[in-house]
Every structure is written in C-alpha cells, then in structure tokens.
C-alpha cells in the first residue's frame, strides 16, 4: 500500500475526521487520500489557527487533533499553536513537510531544522519513513494522549509519497495508564487531622472528566472548592462548596476562605495555569496529579502521582476529623463575586454585555474566549454548566485563540450553538479565519468587544504608574460597513442595540460578527492585574 493511502486510512480508523492546515506541493498526494478516506482537509488562513483548531478538536473529541504545515514558514507559523497545545495539555499530531534526508543539511530554499525549532514545543519529533510509518502513527497517538497530553511532530520528507508500506505491520496498542495512588503516613495524617481543608481543582481533573466523582465526594465531605479557569464547570456554581475561580476577576475575595484553610488539597491541579505560591497561605499542600511537577521549595508539599479515578474514595477513608467550615460565609463570598451582575445596570460595558449573552444564549452554548481583559470577567462570571461549554487558553494564554477555537468547536459539535467572545486585538490577529467559517457556512457568532485598545496592557501600565503607550489599535471604529470579508456585521453601542443584535445574529444561517462598542471602565473595577 502506498504510504499516503495507509496514513489516511489509519487516521480514519482512529477517529480522525479533519486535518487542519495549509498545503504545500508535497502534501497534495496526502490530501487526495484524506479525501478518499473520508477525512476533510480544512484549509485555514494561517497555520497557527490550524494548530489551535487541532488543539480544540483534541479537547472536544478525546482523539488527537491533526494539523499540517509545509516546511519553513509554515512550520514556524504552526509552532505558536503547538505551544498552546503543549501548555494547555491538548493531544495533537502535527504533520510537517520537509526536505528529503539527503538535503536536510544542505542550503535549500525554506529549509530549517524543524526538530530543533519544535523541540521545546512538542513532546517528541520524528521523521517518518516507509519502514517506520505503522509504528510512528501508533506511537505518536499513544504519546499525544499520555499524561500530560500534548503535541507530537511527525516530519514528512517530500520524497516519501508513493513509497510502499506493509499494512500488516500495523500494531494497535491501547495500553491504559493506570498507576495506582498510594498514600504514605504523612499524607494520611495531614488528611486525618485537617479541620479546614480546601480543595483546589485544576485542568487535569477537568480533562479526566471527574465531575461525577467530585460531586459524590463533596456531598459526603463538604469543603470549599476553588477552581482554575480551565476547570470551571466541573462542579455546579450554585453548589454550596463552590467558592470561585482563581486568578480571574474579583478573585481577591476568595482570600477570606483561602487564608482560613489549614490544608490545601490539589486535585488534578496543574500549576501551568496558576502557581500555588501565587495564592496559597503558609499551610501544607497535598498535590494529587497524574505526573510529577516542579514545586516551590519553601512550602510543605507532598506530591502524590497516579490515576485520579477512584481517588475520592481513598480520600474519604482518610478524612476523619469533623470539619469546621462555615458555609454561610462561603455563600456570601460567592454572592459578592456575582454582585456586579446585579448592581451594574447602567451603561454598555462588558458586564452588561455578559448579562445579555447569559439571558439570550441557550444553556448548551459553547463559548470560546480570546485572551484579554474580558477573559477575566467571563472566566469568573459566565455560567458554565459543564467543562466542555467554555473553551479558553490559560496555560499558553496566546491572543488569537478565540476565532479558530470557535470554528473547530462548531465543526466537531454541529448540533450546539457556538459563540466566540474576543477583544478587538485578538480579533485582528486571526480575522482572516472568518473566511474559513464563511467557506464552510458555520453558524458561529463572533462578538468583538471593541474598545480601540489592548486594555489588559493598559491596566498593567496604570498599575506600574507608567505612561499609557503603544496600546491604541485604531481610530474611530473597527468596522465601517455592514459586511467584512463577505460576512454580515452588526453594530451595537448600547444594551438595547446589543440585545437586538444578538437576537438577529441567532437567526442568521452562517457566521456573523457583532461589533460591541463597549465602555471598558468595568475592567478597571473588577479585573485584578
């Protein structure tokens, strides 16, 4: 079997339905076989977006997302999105065209060392040959999915297509990682004698789908819970144990609970989102995760590595002391964080815009967020019924995530409403991808919070007491017509006009942009920098 046919059929059997990217000449045979196998090649406007779409596909489906780029500039563009997959812990396979082995050390147009370029951004990189192809595909999928999940780079030499591979060499392996949790006496003693333990839930717990186990555990052993931004949705926000989101807007109010704890239990807490020492009081920490990670040396830390499934049963046995938390106080803190949604009723800023979206959008809506001041407000105040309903980047935190993430979400969840909320700066980084949404007629609403500036940088400049400089994006307005790249543009400059725009956008069968010309004053009141 020709190698390109083998790869296409093997990917399809593994559940791959999309490959995202921009082709080069040497990738044409692979694209043709993808089409024949039932895999759609999604042409993107930029390779960074292709990697982001593969990242989100991997998150949503649990099957590694696949992206492709040609050599040189294609690979360098792809690298930004692969960095996101690495630090946001998403399984991705990146196919990158390269020169033949005989030319790899020669001076050749567009040629650089992709492996050296991508070494810090991927879990592994390997050159594919006709001999190793079956093993490489299998091992790459296995590695991409292993803890922590992340991207794997496979190099495709330009002279590889047309070569024969022995199909019988394919060896499917599906070994499940299942390292048992074992607690030593120090850990059990800390758990047994703690009167005010606080549970910190993170990205690993969210990725492993531990909502059900956590709910059963908290109903038996109530204790306050704080979550990292990418773990939001694991427990209901009206649960008596839910306290709030670390790092995002108004998270300083969590201090009243955090500083009263005598033990922090990190449950699938990945420090890539927010380091413990940036928020923890001087109390012991038990860190449960699937891999060992670096920890601050001045804290009392006990790391326990293994599978998190079943861990709550083990914890239940160890938690013997009656806890002393006052859940009325926790409820008051939770309410104080939500207060802006009740008290800010005038003006057209991000808080009122958020309230309108909450009222208008169906509960199953998938919301994607770009990076900027708005992510802090939405990350704390947006109601998230499940972890799959809110997509953001926080480990990598790269601007330009929101639009390609929304496109990938809609492709993979065609039955769900998808809305992207982005600042004008993030929009400008990936504006070309709205053409991708138009090409596939994807019903996605792109809400652009237009305040003419990089507001989060402005807030940091104000905190540093420096001049406000280098943050203005444009004069007047972002859009000056009713169409942008063939996509309808709705203009909203008040709560009433935004209300009407959202209603109208929900009726449009295809992508639509809403430019929300907001007053950014809310950010200064609520966003912590």
Give pLDDT tens digits along the chain (529 positions): 899 999 999 999 999 999 999 999 888 999 999 999 999 999 999 999 999 999 999 999 999 999 999 999 999 999 999 999 999 999 999 999 998 776 677 777 678 788 999 999 999 999 999 899 999 999 999 999 999 999 999 999 988 888 998 765 455 554 445 678 889 999 999 999 999 999 999 999 999 999 999 999 999 999 999 999 999 999 999 999 999 999 999 999 999 999 999 999 999 999 999 999 999 999 999 999 999 999 988 889 999 999 999 999 999 999 988 889 999 999 999 999 999 888 887 889 999 999 999 999 999 999 999 999 999 999 999 999 888 899 999 999 999 999 999 999 999 999 999 999 999 999 999 999 999 999 999 999 999 999 999 999 999 999 999 999 999 999 989 998 999 999 999 999 999 999 999 999 999 999 999 999 999 999 999 998 8
φ, ψ dihedrals at 457, nearest 5°: -70, -40
CA dist., res. 364 & res. 387, Å (int): 11
Q: Which two tokens stand for residue 229?
A: 């931004």
User: What strands, in cross-sheet order, belong to the sheet with 285-289?
Assistant: 242-245, 225-227, 197-201, 263-267, 285-289, 301-305
Q: Domain limits of the chain? A: 3-169, 185-331, 344-526
DSSP 3-state assignment of 472? strand
Q: Which two tokens stand for residue 253?
A: 């109010």
CATH number, span 3-169: 3.40.50.970
CB atoms under 10 Å from CB of 256, counted, come to 14
Residue 419 has, within 13 A of its CA and on its CB side, a CA count of 24
SS3 track for 221-276? CCCCEEECHHHCCCCCCCCCCEEEECCCCCHHHHHHHHCCCCEEEEECCCCCCCCH
**Do 185-331 and 3-169 fall under one CATH topology?**
yes
CATH number, span 185-331: 3.40.50.1220
Query: Can you name the CATH fold of 344-526?
Result: Rossmann fold (3.40.50)
Q: Which two tokens stand for residue 230?
A: 């990418």
φ, ψ dihedrals at 27, nearest 5°: -90, -5
């Amino acid at each position: 079997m020709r190698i390109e046919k083998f790869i296409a059929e093997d990917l399809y059997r593994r559940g791959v339905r999309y490959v995202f990217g921009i082709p080069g000449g040497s990738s044409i045979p692979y694209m043709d076989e993808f089409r024949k196998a039932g895999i759609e090649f999604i042409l993107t406007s930029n390779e960074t977006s292709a990697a982001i779409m593969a990242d989100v596909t991997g998150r949503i489906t649990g099957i590694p997302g696949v992206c492709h780029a040609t050599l040189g500039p294609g690979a360098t563009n792809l690298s930004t999105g692969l960095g996101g997959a690495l630090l946001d812990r998403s399984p991705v396979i990146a196919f990158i065209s390269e020169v033949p082995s005989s030319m790899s050390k020669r001076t050749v147009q567009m040629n650089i060392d992709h492996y050296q370029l991508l070494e810090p951004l991927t879990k592994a990189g390997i050159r594919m040959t006709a001999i190793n192809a079956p093993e490489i595909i299998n091992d790459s999928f296995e590695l991409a999915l292993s803890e922590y999940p992340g991207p794997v780079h496979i190099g495709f030499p330009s002279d590889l297509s047309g070569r024969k591979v022995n199909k019988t060499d394919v060896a499917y392996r599906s070994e499940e990682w299942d390292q048992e949790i074992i607690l030593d006496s120090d850990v059990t003693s800390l758990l047994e004698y703690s009167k005010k333990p606080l549970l910190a839930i993170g990205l690993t717990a969210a990725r492993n789908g531990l909502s059900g186990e956590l709910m059963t555990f908290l109903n038996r052993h109530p204790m306050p819970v704080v979550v990292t931004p990418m773990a939001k949705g694991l427990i209901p926000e009206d649960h008596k144990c839910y306290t709030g989101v670390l790092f995002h807007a108004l998270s300083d109010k969590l201090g009243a609970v955090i500083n009263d704890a005598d033990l922090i239990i990190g449950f699938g807490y990945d420090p890539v989102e927010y380091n413990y020492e940036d928020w923890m009081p001087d109390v012991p920490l038990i860190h449960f995760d699937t891999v060992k990670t670096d920890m601050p040396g001045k804290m009392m830390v006990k790391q326990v590595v293994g599978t998190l499934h079943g861990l709550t049963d083990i914890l239940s046995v160890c938690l013997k002391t009656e806890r002393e938390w006052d859940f009325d106080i926790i409820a008051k803190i939770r309410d104080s964080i939500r207060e802006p949604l009740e008290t800010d009723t005038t003006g057209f800023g991000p808080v009122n815009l958020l309230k309108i979206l909450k009222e208008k959008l169906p509960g199953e809506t998938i919301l994607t967020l770009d990076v900027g001041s708005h992510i802090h407000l939405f990350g704390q105040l947006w109601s998230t019924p499940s972890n799959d309903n809110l997509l953001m980047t926080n480990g990598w935190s790269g601007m330009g995530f929101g639009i390609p993430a929304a496109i990938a979400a809609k492709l993979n969840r065609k039955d769900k409403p998808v809305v992207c909320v982005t600042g004008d700066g993030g929009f400008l980084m990936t504006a070309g991808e709205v053409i991708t949404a138009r090409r596939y007629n994807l019903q996605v609403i792109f809400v652009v919070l237009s305040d003419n500036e990089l507001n989060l940088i402005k807030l940091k400049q104000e905190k540093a007491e420096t001049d406000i400089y280098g943050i203005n994006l444009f004069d007047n307005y972002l859009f000056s017509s009713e169409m942008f790249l063939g996509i309808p543009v709705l203009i909203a400059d008040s709560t009433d006009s935004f209300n009407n725009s959202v209603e109208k956008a929900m009726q449009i069968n295809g992508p639509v942009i809403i430019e929300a010309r907001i007053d950014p004053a809310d950010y200064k009141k609520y966003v912590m920098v």
